[in-house]
Chains A and B, each alone.
Chain A
């Protein structure tokens, strides 16, 4: 982070404080504005059904990725690996929709490229081959719709695993079938609602879930009797190949 700091000082008012040579260098970088490779995640190209390509982060955002954002003062949370583990290669979890968007704003500023969260439709296309069929509802009666998403079998262990512990799609996208649910940009029940007015977004994993934008840890139980996700994380997508 510290070694790349001069690159991000691109505001003229700050640049003016430097000697002429530094100013000239800064101006040159400003003009070039190519993506900053030190911030670009590994991406896999996925062909969507409509014939369009989407560039999808191979792994979920990891602790190492996330804590760069924290160190830069742009993300509120400092994340740590699970108890007894030291690896920074675990997915970043315990993040709300707001946290996820803080991260996106930071990485877009630094990578000089536009990343975003996927839509539910995009996520389902990316993950189709590794996601199991929708389970048969445990209750068939329409009166029991409210309880029918409860899962009593086929649940994955909730223990967090390092990135790369689950399946990889033929396009090369990993861990879509893991126990981290990924935030999408889709507002529950009302796609037309501006995102800053949306109370809950879809999160995608082995089953679809809906989560308040504030929730970091989808606590089990209480009145929420569905099968809440184990962990909340995120994966970046982008519509254009960086640098192309």
Chain B
């Protein structure tokens, strides 16, 4: 993957235009605390025309709320890691609920989507990766997020956690402009794997989500995962797949267009997105990002929890040559997992989890089983699994030979 960082360090007229767009978009989507945010913005900001009554009501409600005393809670810091990997975590929580501190920095970066064609995108990311990092906590823990937007950015960002409650999933409290940071704490009341994504307002919402700004937070039951009979389920490893639909603008000849800075593709992207027809649908941000040298590795007998996020669009994962032994299609651990599935359905705007124990060595393809998307748009990952072949499960009796004529 090419790593070219956003060179736009200085405010430009283009950036000012974009800011205006972002604000207009944010205004269309009622939310946020408009007055203080606007006051911080300086001369090129437009004040969001949000109803003063709505703004006042929210500000009043927040001001009146009882301050939460968290002084008795233990604080732990979770170091987030890039996908497809998971941060260090416990499957069964030790001790009472904690405050889990995480930091995410938004990063706008030029990423190659498909080396074969040179198709690229100014991706909008959390911590530089598509998808954003996997966050893991337990039910009743508090997630305390520091969201930072570097001064070099072109755009405003925020975050909406589907696992959280209130203020548009936190989106209304976390708008950060370039050079700003914010801290928000939310309680993980519901168990499951949940999507999070950027939602700055209006048409900026799908623009940011379709440029990579989404990921999964997993809220485990304090006593860990269970099957439908209440028996504990444990995994040896996690494979975290973010499936990203990209809508890359093309020129009149049909070649993918290139842009100098994040946001330059805004108008073209909206036109491409309106077709609802992705040009790419990929795991881990790029075609082939989890194949070949980057294929996932495992061993016969190991149990893998496959977490699949799709923040925008329906998908249907399938493990070619294997199964989903325990599958939470809707991604919520309060429901008994389905067993023995061939393909499972992930609703756009959600995460799902599927557990499988490898029984045969070899190569497995993990695909979106719309095979057009798997083979032509890029939605394929590979597992390379070591171990001993089991002829009881499968045996080649006659290798291909000429038929008798």
Contacts and interface: CB of A to CB of B under 8 A. Distances in A.
A85 B391 CA distance: 52
Interface stretch (A33-41, A46-54, A215-223): A215-223
B371 interface: yes
B255 A83 contact: yes
Contact of B117 (A83, A141, A146, A150): A83
A139 interface: yes
B389 A143 contact: yes
A135 to B, nearest CB: 12
Contacts of B120: 83
Interface in A127-175: 138-139, 141, 143-144, 146-147, 150-153, 155, 157-160
A150 B117 CA distance: 23
Contacts of A84: 118, 258
B258 A155 contact: no
Contacts of A152: 292-293, 295, 384
Contacts of A138: 384
A212 interface: no
B116 A151 contact: no
A80 interface: yes
Interface residues of B, number: 37
Contacts of B112: 159
A146 B362 contact: yes
B375 A222 contact: yes
B222 to A, nearest CB: 38
Contacts of B256: 83
A155 B363 contact: no
B382 A158 contact: no
A7 interface: no
Contacts of B375: 219-222
Interface in B253-305: 253, 255-258, 287-288, 291-293, 295
B376 interface: yes
Contact of A144 (B115, B117, B361): B361
Interface in B359-386: 361-363, 365, 367, 371, 374-376, 378-380, 382, 384
A226 to B, nearest CB: 9
B365 A144 contact: no
Contacts of B320: 222-223
A157 B295 CA distance: 15
B27 interface: no
A222 B118 contact: no
A144 B118 contact: no
A82 B118 contact: yes
Q: What are the 9 A-B residue pairs with the smallest beta carbon separation, nearest first?
A: A221-B380, A143-B389, A83-B118, A158-B115, A147-B362, A222-B375, A225-B363, A147-B363, A82-B118
Given A150-B382, A220-B291, 16 more contacts: A82-B118, A84-B258, A85-B118, A139-B361, A141-B361, A141-B388, A141-B389, A143-B391, A147-B363, A152-B292, A155-B293, A160-B118, A220-B288, A221-B380, A222-B371, A222-B375
30 contacts: A80-B255, A82-B118, A83-B118, A84-B258, A141-B388, A144-B389, A147-B363, A151-B292, A152-B293, A153-B293, A155-B292, A155-B293, A158-B115, A159-B118, A160-B116, A217-B116, A219-B376, A220-B288, A220-B291, A220-B380, A221-B288, A221-B291, A221-B375, A221-B378, A221-B379, A221-B382, A222-B374, A223-B320, A223-B365, A230-B116
